[in-house]
């Protein structure tokens, strides 16, 4: 692979792209721009439309409506073989009747490149993927982690405009997954190739991505950096899907300029909090409190609660609290041996870290709007 | 049994193993006995007949090789078998492909469509073809009524009739192994090939066909071997105009009582088949496709 700048590949632009199978809408009309060299993760539960979005981008599925551009090229109606994409499947889909080297060379062979160039590029990518000397191995002889690297090498060697990965670590065990994540990150920093990565594992998304699109119900619920998603989720789904969270039912009394006055039944009081756009009086909403933002005091004007469970995590302690209303609340504290099950405490929260969010998924909302 | 346990009880282990050998031998014994007495011995006796002709040990083979009629029959047998195999591959391919893509009720219906002919005896099916293919039979009447031909075609008592009848009977033996190979192919391999920029032809040639090869080779072997030894269908549909080796051997035995010639003919057939199968196994990259799971 030639050593060019840290940005390789093309930008990707989806405009109003949707997919319906009969009456079932797998993907609602979606706009998405992935910048050249960016690593974007599609994160969501199964059935959220993330794989549909990936397959539309790859060209394995034709959109019902909308336009897809790779760089300046309109590829909406092009089949995958004409799009110059690199695809890594969850089960790797390595060709079982070919050696490792033949698998990697496949995309170059079908492009009818000269044999010496194919040999050179295959050797380069194998050595980049730390697979030197494996070229003649049968793919069945390779371990899961090695097969994953072969699949990645096969996708990268054709120098794709966009690299697409569909849960590529799903078949690996947990420890291996961790090290492969770091390797993927290192590789992306080195190659800077435009990448779309599909996963349902939020940790994977946080480790790897420049930006994350959280998907649910065939929609991008929120697109933004990891910080955006964690600190400023646009709705209860995103708040619950990223990180740990307490989501308490609330009644929105009034909103103004990004703030809301909400009646928290669990606390039996009305408080003023930050509010996500779309939070409106009378609409269903939740109050988001991250466990690390819960503060405990011996007395004062906090909400009275009882500690019902204590799990020491070393430096931190994970607590489960039961409020007087019966609602439970997760909290995380610097370990303090005085915090024992049965102890009575008063719960307060860090101001500015508590947020009202709409409960039902809203229309796709851009992060820029959420920041406004 | 662990290695340590094996070291501690070597005697117990050999004793139990030899007992198991006795059990195995006793269980297999009756079947082996029947096979040996009723199959291997008569077969050896038959083959020995080929070498014990009064005219000399290899005289029978000489007779077979020198007669242009017999050479013609052997040639015809292999040509028919090859044509049946080739046409079965061509006809079975789309059927097997459709079967591999169908699901649920439609798959069941299609599969029974393939298997249904097995329920009817070969003899009955061959006689049915005689009725259908004869000079004034329904097929010729249809061809003439629609104006495709002026005069009735000769569909019976030649190689055309033999091919039609044999393909009809042997087609399932080609379809089923081919279907088995096709249904095991992971669709994502084809998507991966497509994504890597391969044309449809490349994806077929480099991915789909090699992965189908085990089934194709298995089915072709079945069909080729069965058609070499086919007797009823060529005898009834081909008649004296399309004599095959099996018909010749039958005529040596039934008409001329020339057992040594029949034995030599059978032996020659067996030898040629073994050579061909050996060549095919050597030349086809079947074992690479066998990895396709």
Please tell me whether residue A112 adopts helix, strand or coil conformation. coil
Q: What was the pLDDT predicted at B15? A: 66
Residue of A nearest to B207 (CA): A95
The encoded tokens of residue A99 equal: 């050696």
Contact B191 A89 (CB under 8 A): yes
Residues of B in contact with A82 (CB under 8 A): 197
Residue of B nearest to A80 (CA): B195
Residues of B in contact with A158 (CB under 8 A): 196-197
- Cβ-based neighbours of A30, under 8 Å, separated by 6 or more: A14, A16, A17, A18, A53, A66, A219, A220, A364
- Shortest distance between the Cα of B213 and any Cα of chain A, in A, equals 11
- What are B83-88's contacts with CB under 8 Å, separation 24+? B83/B159, B83/B163, B84/B163, B84/B166, B84/B167, B84/B170, B84/B223, B84/B224, B84/B227, B85/B174, B85/B220, B85/B223, B85/B224, B85/B227, B87/B163, B87/B167, B88/B167, B88/B170, B88/B171, B88/B173, B88/B174, B88/B219, B88/B220, B88/B223
Q: What was the pLDDT predicted at B11? A: 58
Residues of B in contact with A81 (CB under 8 A): 194-200
Q: What was the pLDDT predicted at A124? A: 92
- Cβ-based neighbours of B74, under 8 Å, separated by 6 or more: B64, B245, B268
Q: How many CB pairs under 8 A join A and B?
A: 75
Residues of B in contact with A91 (CB under 8 A): 186, 188
Please tell me whether residue A248 adopts helix, strand or coil conformation. strand
Read off φ and ψ for residue A193, nearest 5 degrees: -90, 135
Fill in the DSSP letter of residue A136: T
**Closest Cβ–Cβ partner in A85, A91, A138 for B195:** A85
User: What's the average model confidence in pLDDT over A235-249?
Assistant: 88
**pLDDT one-digit tens code per residue, A287-298:** 999 998 988 887
b/e for A158-176, b at 16 or more Cβ within 10 A?
bbbbbbbbbbbbbbbeeee
Residue A304 pLDDT greater than 70, yes or no:
yes
Residue of A nearest to B194 (CA): A81
Rounded to an integer, what distance in angstroms lies between the CA atom of residue B155 and that of residue B237?
9
Residues of A in contact with B195 (CB under 8 A): 58-60, 80-81, 83, 85-87, 155
Contact A93 B192 (CB under 8 A): yes
ipTM value for the complex: 0.81
Q: What was the pLDDT predicted at A365? A: 41
User: What's the average model confidence in pLDDT over A294-316?
Assistant: 85
Rounded to an integer, what distance in angstroms lies between the CA atom of residue A8 and that of residue A159?
8
**Closest Cβ–Cβ partner in B186, B211, B288 for A93:** B186
Q: What was the pLDDT predicted at B284? A: 65
Tell me how crowded residue A209 is: count the other CB atoms within 10 A of its CB.
Answer: 23
pLDDT tens for chain B, 293 residues: list them.
444 444 445 555 666 777 888 888 889 989 999 999 998 998 888 888 888 777 777 788 887 888 888 888 888 888 999 999 999 999 999 999 999 999 889 999 999 988 888 888 888 888 888 888 888 888 888 888 888 888 888 888 888 888 999 999 999 999 999 999 999 999 999 999 999 999 999 999 999 999 998 889 889 988 998 888 888 888 888 877 778 888 888 888 888 888 888 888 888 888 888 888 888 777 665 555 454 43
Q: Which of B187, B197, B199, B213 to mutate to test the interface with A (most CBs of A within 10 A)?
A: B197
- Shortest distance between the Cα of A168 and any Cα of chain B, in A, equals 14
Tell me how crowded residue B129 is: count the other CB atoms within 10 A of its CB.
Answer: 24
Comparing A93-97, A98-102, A249-253, B60-64, which segment has the lowest mean pLDDT? B60-64
Q: What was the pLDDT predicted at B250? A: 86
Rounded to an integer, what distance in angstroms lies between the CA atom of residue B222 and that of residue B228?
10
If we measure between CA atoms, which residue out of A40, A49, A48 comes closest to residue A224? A40
Provide the residue ranges of all domains of chain B, joining segments of one domain with +: 12-49, 67-283
Q: What was the pLDDT predicted at A159? A: 92
Question: Is pLDDT larger for residue A215 or for residue B144?
Answer: A215
Q: What was the pLDDT predicted at B68? A: 83
Residues of A in CB contact (< 8 Å) with B are 58-60, 79-87, 89, 91, 93, 95-97, 106-107, 109-111, 138, 140, 154-155, 158
Residues of B in contact with A111 (CB under 8 A): 197
Residue A137 pLDDT greater than 50, yes or no:
yes
Question: Is pLDDT larger for residue A366 or for residue B100?
Answer: B100
Residues of A in contact with B197 (CB under 8 A): 81-82, 84, 107, 110-111, 158
Please tell me whether residue B154 adopts helix, strand or coil conformation. coil
**Closest Cβ–Cβ partner in B197, B202, B207 for A158:** B197
**pLDDT one-digit tens code per residue, A317-364:** 889 999 888 888 899 888 887 788 888 888 888 878 888 888 875 444
Read off φ and ψ for residue B40, nearest 5 degrees: -65, -45
**Closest Cβ–Cβ partner in A59, A87, A109 for B192:** A87
Contact B291 A96 (CB under 8 A): yes
Rounded to an integer, what distance in angstroms lies between the CA atom of residue B239 and that of residue B229?
16
Residues of B in contact with A109 (CB under 8 A): 206
Residue of A nearest to B213 (CA): A97
Q: What was the pLDDT predicted at B291? A: 46
The encoded tokens of residue B269 equal: 């057939």
If we measure between CA atoms, which residue out of A253, A226, A247 comes closest to residue A235? A247
**Closest Cβ–Cβ partner in A60, A81, A155 for B198:** A81
- Shortest distance between the Cα of B190 and any Cα of chain A, in A, equals 9
Question: Which homologous superfamily does the CATH classification assign to the domain defined by B67-283?
Answer: MetI-like (1.10.3720.10)
Q: Look-up: residue for tokens 């028919």?
A: B80
User: What's the average model confidence in pLDDT over A233-249?
Assistant: 89
**Closest Cβ–Cβ partner in B189, B195, B210 for A58:** B195
Read off φ and ψ for residue A105, nearest 5 degrees: -75, -10
- Cβ-based neighbours of A200, under 8 Å, separated by 6 or more: A43, A44, A45, A46, A50, A167
Q: What was the pLDDT predicted at B94? A: 95
Q: What was the pLDDT predicted at B288? A: 52
- Cβ-based neighbours of B145, under 8 Å, separated by 6 or more: none
Contact B197 A110 (CB under 8 A): yes
Q: Do residues A44 and A50 lie in contact, with contact meaning Cβ atoms separated by under 8 Å? A: yes
- Shortest distance between the Cα of B177 and any Cα of chain A, in A, equals 19
**Closest Cβ–Cβ partner in B196, B291, B292 for A158:** B196
- Whole-structure pTM value: 0.78
Contact A140 B291 (CB under 8 A): yes
**Closest Cβ–Cβ partner in A79, A91, A110 for B196:** A110
- Shortest distance between the Cα of A106 and any Cα of chain B, in A, equals 7
Residues 229-288 of B with CB under 8 A from A: 288
Residue of A nearest to B188 (CA): A93
Residues of B in contact with A93 (CB under 8 A): 186, 188-189, 191-192
Q: Do residues A240 and A222 lie in contact, with contact meaning Cβ atoms separated by under 8 Å? A: no
């Amino acid at each position: 692979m030639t050593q060019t700048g840290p940005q390789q590949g093309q930008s990707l632009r989806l405009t109003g792209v949707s997919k319906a199978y009969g009456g079932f809408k797998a993907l609602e009309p979606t706009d998405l721009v992935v910048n050249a060299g960016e690593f974007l993760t599609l994160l969501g539960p199964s059935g959220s439309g993330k794989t549909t979005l990936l397959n539309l981008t790859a060209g394995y599925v034709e959109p019902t409506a909308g336009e897809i551009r790779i760089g300046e090229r309109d590829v909406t109606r092009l089949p995958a073989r004409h799009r110059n994409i690199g695809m890594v499947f969850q089960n790797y889909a390595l060709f079982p009747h070919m050696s490792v080297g033949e698998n990697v060379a496949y995309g170059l062979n079908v492009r009818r490149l000269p044999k010496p160039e194919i040999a050179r590029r295959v050797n380069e990518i194998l050595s980049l993927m730390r697979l030197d000397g494996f070229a003649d191995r049968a793919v069945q002889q390779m371990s899961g982690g090695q097969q994953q690297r072969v699949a990645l090498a096969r996708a990268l060697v054709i120098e794709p405009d966009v690299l697409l990965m569909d849960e590529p670590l799903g078949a690996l065990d947990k420890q291996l997954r961790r090290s492969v994540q770091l390797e993927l990150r290192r590789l992306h920093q080195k190659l800077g190739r435009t990448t779309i990565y599909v996963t349902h594992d939020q940790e994977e998304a946080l480790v790897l991505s420049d930006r994350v699109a959280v998907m649910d119900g065939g929609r991008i619920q929120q697109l933004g950096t990891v910080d955006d998603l964690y600190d400023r989720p646009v709705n209860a789904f995103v708040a619950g899907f990223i990180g740990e969270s307490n989501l308490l039912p609330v009644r929105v009394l009034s909103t103004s300029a990004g703030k809301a006055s909400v009646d928290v039944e669990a606390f039996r009081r009305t408080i003023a909090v930050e509010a996500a756009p779309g939070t409106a009086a009378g609409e269903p909403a939740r109050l988001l409190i991250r466990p690390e933002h819960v503060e405990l005091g011996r007395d004062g004007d906090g909400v009275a609660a009882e500690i019902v469970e204590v799990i020491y995590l070393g430096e931190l302690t994970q607590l489960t609290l039961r409020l007087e209303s019966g609602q439970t609340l997760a909290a995380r504290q610097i370990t303090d041996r005085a915090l024992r099950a049965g102890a009575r405490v008063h719960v307060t929260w860090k101001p500015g870290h508590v947020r009202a969010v709409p409960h039902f998924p809203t229309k796709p909302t851009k992060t820029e709007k959420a920041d406004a | 049994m662990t290695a340590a346990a094996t070291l501690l009880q070597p005697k117990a282990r050999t004793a139990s193993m030899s007992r198991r050998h006795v059990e195995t031998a006793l269980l297999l014994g009756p079947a082996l006995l029947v096979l040996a007495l009723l199959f291997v011995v008569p077969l050896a006796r038959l083959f020995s007949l080929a070498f014990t002709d009064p005219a000399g040990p290899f005289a029978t083979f000489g007779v077979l090789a020198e007669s242009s009629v017999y050479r013609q029959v052997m040639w015809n047998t292999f040509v028919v078998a090859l044509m049946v195999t080739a046409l079965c591959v061509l006809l079975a391919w789309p059927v097997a492909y459709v079967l591999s893509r169908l699901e649920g009720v439609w798959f069941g219906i299609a599969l029974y469509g393939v298997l249904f002919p097995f329920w009817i005896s070969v003899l009955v099916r061959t006689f049915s073809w005689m009725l259908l293919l004869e000079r004034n039979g329904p097929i010729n009447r249809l061809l003439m009524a629609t104006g495709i031909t002026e005069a009735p075609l000769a569909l019976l008592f030649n190689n055309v009739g033999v091919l039609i009848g044999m393909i009809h009977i042997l087609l399932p033996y080609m379809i089923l192994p081919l279907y088995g190979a096709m249904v095991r192919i992971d669709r994502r391999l084809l998507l991966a090939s497509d994504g890597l920029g391969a044309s449809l032809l490349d994806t077929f040639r480099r991915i789909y066909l090699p992965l189908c090869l085990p089934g194709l080779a298995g089915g072709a072997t079945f069909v080729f071997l069965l058609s070499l030894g086919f007797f009823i269908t060529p005898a009834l549909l081909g008649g004296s105009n399309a004599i095959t080796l099996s018909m010749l051997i039958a005529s040596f035995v039934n008409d001329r009582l020339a057992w040594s010639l029949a034995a030599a003919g059978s032996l020659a057939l067996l030898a040629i088949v073994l050579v061909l199968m050996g060549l095919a196994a050597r030349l086809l990259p079947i074992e690479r496709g066998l990895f396709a799971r």
